[in-house]
């Protein structure tokens, strides 16, 4: 089956991704890659930088082994004067922080830029913490259980952007009658480090889907699954934005909604130690089954991922090339929801990347041949330079 390629005059960014335009003169400003509409969000950290004062308070040193100073130097990357310098003199844990006294039930998101002077970038641990009236707290650390960042972007020249999104209070605490005593912004390190903090951005985010530059809600898109039978195709492009090792982070999760916020009977396409893997977690509690590949998922490139599911097997193609088969009796499952980028529980399996060009359809073995999938990849890969033409 031949593909029909049509030139629609679409404009592409430097990295080959599509730049959406609705008419010939609707072209983005020079150097601008994308646009967003924000629902009245305000950066809380604004004010007199020289005294660390902000609209919500001042940065405070919590320990004697930590010194924070303001240095009025020009930062070429951000085109602005002034950075906060954070210096640790021993290996005891220390933090600087800002307390927000706010009992409002709201959600926070934030980002900072780090310019490393000395030490290990993985020892710098920003966090957001909700404190409750019973002296307990909910800690949104920006480091996972393995000590690796989940949302860190290497901007080059020793500068990193670190994000935390959708920091929300524990609803069970509120249901129990507790109130929020404060929300704390904190930068902690257990090691000797010396770095600059640039352009700190913290916002109250009551809308989970709203975002501004550097601050986005967790990418958990849930779609009801209404496909008939057990012969279907899921095809998408995915690009990982996390340069360190990914352990079991999900690209998609097809499952059955259980009694809790965890799926039963899940078919998962995930990154297992930064290698693409198909995985099934049966609803009946029987042993899970996985099928591995040797293809790296954290190379910073877009990959076309094609999963063909029949009653007794699922096959994975990467960039148009067959890679592996997972053998399983899918007729035992009753899928009712597809989650992209995570699973329903927002657990550490949440991936950090971009997903586009999602296609879901019936599987016809007379159409979805190896040759067709390779041709499909060759025609749909707009994420390279020069970009290929899109298809219909």
**SS3 per residue for the chain:** CCCCECCCCCEECCCCCEECCCCCCCCCCCCCCCCCCCCCCCECCCCCHHHCEECCEECEECCCCEEEEEEEEEECCCCEEEEEEEEECCCCCEEEEEEECCCCCCEEEEEEEEEEEECCHHHCEEEEEEEECCCCEEEEECECCCCCECCEEEEECCEEEEEEEEEECCHHHHHCCCCEEEEEEEEEECCCCEEEEEEEEEEECCCCCCCECCECCCCCEEEECCCCCCCEEEEEEEEECCCCCCEEEEEEEEEEECCCCCEEEEEEEEEECCEEEEEEECCCCCCCEEEEEEEECCCCCEEEEEEEEECCEEEEEECCEEEEEEECCHHHCCCCEEEECCCCCCCCCECCEEEEEEEEEECCCCCCCHHHHHHHHHHHCCCCCCCCCCEC
pLDDT at 328: 92
What structural domains and CATH numbers belong to the chain? 49-204 (2.60.120.260), 221-380 (2.60.120.200)
Highest mean pLDDT among 16-25, 101-110, 169-178, 250-259: 169-178
Q: Is residue 236's pLDDT more than 70? A: yes
Give the percent of the chain with pLDDT over 90: 10
pLDDT at 156: 76
pLDDT at 206: 45
Q: Specify the higher pLDDT residue, 279 or 385.
A: 279
Q: Is residue 69's pLDDT more than 70? A: yes
pLDDT at 77: 58
Are the C-beta atoms of 43 and 205 separated by less than 8 Å? no
Q: Specify the higher pLDDT residue, 76 or 223.
A: 223
C-alpha to C-alpha distance for 347 and 19, rounded to whole angstroms: 32
Mean pLDDT, residues 15-36: 42
Closest alpha carbon to 194 in 127, 128, 114, 80: 114
pLDDT at 346: 44
Highest mean pLDDT among 209-218, 370-379, 380-389: 370-379
Q: Is residue 173's pLDDT more than 60? A: yes
Q: Specify the higher pLDDT residue, 45 or 76.
A: 45
pLDDT at 341: 75
Q: How do 221-224 and 337-340 pair as beta strands?
A: antiparallel
pLDDT at 325: 93
Q: Is residue 54's pLDDT more than 90? A: no
Tokens of 270: 């995930």
pLDDT at 139: 77
Mean pLDDT, residues 158-185: 79
| pLDDT tier at 382, thresholds 50, 70, 90 | low
Q: How do 80-88 and 159-168 pair as beta strands?
A: unpaired
Highest mean pLDDT among 53-57, 168-172, 327-331: 327-331
| pLDDT tier at 322, thresholds 50, 70, 90 | very high
pLDDT tens profile 285-310: 788 888 889 888 878 788 899 999 99
pLDDT tens profile 245-267: 556 677 888 887 764 444 566 88
Range with the poorest average pLDDT among 3-17, 92-106, 310-324, 358-372: 3-17
What is the C-alpha end-to-end distance of the chain, expressed in Å? 13
Q: Specify the higher pLDDT residue, 352 or 125.
A: 125
pLDDT at 102: 59
Q: What's this model's pTM, rounded to 2 decimal places? A: 0.51
């Amino acid at each position: 089956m031949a593909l029909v390629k049509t030139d629609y005059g679409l404009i592409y960014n430097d990295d080959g991704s599509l730049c959406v335009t609705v008419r010939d003169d609707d072209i983005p400003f020079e150097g601008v890659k994308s646009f967003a509409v924000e629902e009245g969000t305000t950066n809380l950290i604004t004010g007199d930088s020289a005294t660390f004062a902000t609209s919500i308070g001042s940065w405070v040193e919590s320990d004697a082994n930590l010194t924070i100073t303001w240095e009025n130097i020009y930062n070429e990357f951000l085109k602005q004067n002034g950075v906060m310098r954070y210096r640790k003199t021993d290996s005891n844990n220390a933090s600087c922080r800002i307390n927000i006294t706010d009992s409002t039930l709201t959600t926070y998101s934030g980002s900072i830029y780090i310019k490393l002077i000395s030490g290990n970038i993985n020892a710098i641990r920003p966090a957001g913490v909700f404190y409750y009236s019973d002296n307990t707290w909910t800690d949104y650390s920006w480091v996972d259980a393995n000590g690796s960042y989940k949302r860190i972007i290497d901007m080059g020249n020793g500068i990193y952007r670190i994000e935390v999104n959708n920091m929300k209070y524990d609803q069970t605490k509120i249901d129990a009658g507790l109130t929020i005593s404060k929300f704390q912004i904190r930068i902690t390190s257990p090691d000797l480090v010396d770095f600059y903090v640039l352009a700190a951005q913290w916002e109250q985010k009551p809308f989970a889907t709203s975002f501004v530059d550097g601050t986005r809600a967790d990418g958990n898109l849930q779609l009801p699954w209404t496909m008939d039978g057990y012969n279907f195709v899921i095809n998408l492009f995915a690009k990982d934005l996390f340069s360190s090792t990914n352990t079991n982070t999900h690209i998609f999760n097809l499952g059955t909604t259980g009694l809790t916020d965890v799926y039963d009977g899940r078919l998962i396409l995930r990154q297992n130690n930064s290698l693409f893997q198909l995985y099934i977690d049966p609803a009946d509690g029987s042993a899970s089954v996985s099928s591995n590949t040797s293809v790296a998922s954290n190379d910073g490139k877009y990959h076309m991922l094609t999963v063909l599911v029949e009653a007794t097997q699922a096959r994975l193609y990467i960039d148009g090339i067959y890679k592996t088969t997972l053998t399983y009796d899918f007729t035992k499952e009753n899928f009712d929801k597809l989650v992209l980028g995570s699973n329903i529980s927002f657990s550490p399996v949440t991936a950090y990347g971009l997903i586009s060009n999602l296609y879901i359809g019936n599987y016809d073995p007379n159409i979805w041949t190896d040759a067709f999938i390779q041709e499909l990849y060759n025609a749909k890969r707009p994420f390279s330079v020069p970009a290929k033409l899109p298809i219909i």
